[in-house]
Structure 1
Amino acid sequence: MTDAIRHVTIRGRVQGVGYRAWVEHRAVAHDLEGWVRNRRDGSVEAVFAGPVEAVKAMVDACRRGPSSARVDAVQDEAGPSDLLNLRDPGERFSVLPTI
Structure 2
Amino acid sequence: ALRAGLREITKDSPYVAEVRGAGLYVGVEIVIDRDTLEPHRALAEDVINDMRDRRILINGTGRSANILKIRPPLAFDSADVTRFLETFAEVAKNRL
- The two structures have a TM-score, normalised by structure 2, of 0.41
Greater RCO (CA < 8 Å, at least 6 residues apart): 1
> Normalised by the size of structure 1, how large is the TM-score?
0.40
**Structure with the larger helix share:** 2
More strand by share: 1
